[in-house]
Amino acid sequence: MKTTTKPKFQVIVDDKYCKGCGLCVHFCPKKELKISKEKNKKGYFCVEFSGAECTGCLRCALICPDAALKIIRQQ
């Protein structure tokens, strides 16, 4: 019997571009993104990836107006 495991994904946030608008946080179905409590160099509260339940749906990356998110599949 074969057992299959779900692929794991990670969201990479480029804090040079993220302005902390929160659209990705709102649209994440698994609520794996949150607004950081620390400011970036430009003074914005960026988004952080906070978990391991990401399904790789790409909603966050597609809704981001600044293209600051990248989703990678982990082995």
Q: Where are the domains of the chain?
A: 8-74
d(CA 16, CA 44): 10
d(CA 39, CA 2): 46
Which runs of E-coded beta strand occur in the chain? 8-13, 33-39, 45-49, 69-74
CATH number of 8-74: 3.30.70.20
d(CA 42, CA 20): 11
Tell me what pLDDT residue 1 has: 60
Reading the chain (75 residues) residue by residue, the pLDDT tens digits are 665 666 689 999 999 999 999 999 999 999 999 999 999 889 999 999 987 789 999 999 999 999 999 999 987
pTM of this structure: 0.84
Tell me what pLDDT residue 3 has: 59
Tell me what pLDDT residue 28 has: 96
